[in-house]
Structure 1
């Protein structure tokens, strides 16, 4: 694997997308076509890790075909992981949840911590359930913590890595005080490493009524940076600070 990936500047936009000028109609129609295919496979119990990674890659290429320009660094750090890990990332849009699988899943088994509304969703639910995620309510923090600790340790002991978004919701602005320590505590209890991820994915905005149906802004580059695996010492307080600094420093650079 190369250390980085950068979309070629001369990557052509798909013909129909060009005809639509800067509208999102073509992008969304193709996106939902991919989701429908994935949902069909999930309902047939055929949406395995390979199918998940392939559908994620389809979204990745769709984004590039509709003007998205990826800049991904630190890919070599994925090969430094000593067994399953906890990935800890800021959360900005739908894009990272759609694209992370094609980057990570070909290298290791992985799943997400997700809200219960996603697994209950009539459209996305079958897809999410097929990937055996850890499901939390975001209504009872104590109960959510216990669920993540119990199920997370079970998954990690079975060789499955976990992606955690410690923010309460998707947001363009990164607020460190709203970045909880759930991922670090899980890694500490399970005695595994953490891998920080910084992302800037406001190419795909959050919709006013449905977050997945937000606008796309072709002028905004897409950034992702994978940090080196960190071992947790003591309570993990210093490692959590290091993760926050990793994310903050990358966002500062990308926003400059």
Structure 2
């Protein structure tokens, strides 16, 4: 049953992404300011499809820590494709920091800069960091909420990786508060995983980090991610697997 549901969901995912990307391709010429609405529609359809087809529900806690209309740095864990879409529905005017390779995706990729997304070159060093800071300052001036994944790439639940300090550089230059976000999305929607498992994805939005040095700030963020990893490990251990056995 899970295989068939996953097959249907993946088919819907690619079909909807293709159709809305083609629609966005038209919008770029006639109404480019509507591209962000196209992205929001894509997000709503995919999250609803995950719920209806795969039994994946979403529980958001701490939304009061994300003031609408105010620019912030959303420092989110990154475990699955879910994390790249959910903020179109939660943030008031989101912009994602993403790897520049995504710009090469046919039809879809060229639309990303037109919606204000910020591509970064992971191998670009200081130049890439300067470009990130500059683009973030511009986004902040438009009251956009910037989504950045300090882990750098999708990681498995409970796995700790060194955090990229670029987020601190952006915060120190822009003066924006860092709002940490932890999640368990990878338990049900794994990275590069075909199967999607029923359950509840938690998105926990924590209070902004207190201003401090780079070492203090990054340690505070790492500590939050670490505690979230421990919670996931405890959940998996007590349930033997984060899957509703009754629907397997």
Q: TM tier, shorter chain?
A: 0.7 to 0.9
Confirm or deny: 8 A CA contact 2:24 2:111 kept in the other structure. yes
The corresponding residue for 2:190 is 205
Structure 1 residue corresponding to 2:172, chosen from 188, 191, 194: 188
Output the CA distance in 2 between the equivalents of 1:220 and 1:139.
Answer: 37
The corresponding residue for 1:250 is 228
Query: Residues 104-143 of structure 1: matches in 2 within 5 Å?
Result: 104=91, 108-143=92-127
Output the CA distance in 2 between the equivalents of 1:156 and 1:36.
Answer: 30
Confirm or deny: 8 A CA contact 1:116 1:135 kept in the other structure. yes
Query: Residues 225-244 of structure 1: matches in 2 within 5 Å?
Result: 225-233=204-212, 235-244=213-222
The corresponding residue for 1:217 is 196
Structure 2 residue corresponding to 1:98, chosen from 56, 63, 85: 85
The corresponding residue for 2:60 is 72
User: How far apart are 1:30 and its partner, in Å?
Assistant: 0.8
User: How far apart are 1:88 and its partner, in Å?
Assistant: 0.6
Q: Unaligned regions of 5+ residues in structure 2, if any?
A: 235-248
If each structure's helix is expressed as a fraction of its own residues, which one has the higher value? 2
User: How far apart are 1:21 and its partner, in Å?
Assistant: 5.3
User: How far apart are 1:176 and its partner, in Å?
Assistant: 4.8
Output the CA distance in 1 between the equivalents of 2:214 and 2:179.
Answer: 13
User: How far apart are 1:240 and its partner, in Å?
Assistant: 2.2
- After superposition, the C-alpha distances for 1:94-142 in whole angstroms (9 at most, x for unaligned) are 11102221121xxx22201111110121143134233221111212222
User: How far apart are 1:198 and its partner, in Å?
Assistant: 0.6
RMSD: 2.2
Confirm or deny: 8 A CA contact 1:184 1:232 kept in the other structure. no
Output the CA distance in 2 between the equivalents of 1:54 and 1:82.
Answer: 19
SS state of the match for residue 96, structure 2?
Answer: strand
Query: Residues 167-178 of structure 1: matches in 2 within 5 Å?
Result: 167-173=151-157, 176=160, 178=162
Report the TM-score, using the length of structure 1 for normalisation.
0.80
Report the TM-score, using the length of structure 2 for normalisation.
0.82
Output the CA distance in 2 between the equivalents of 1:251 and 1:71.
Answer: 17
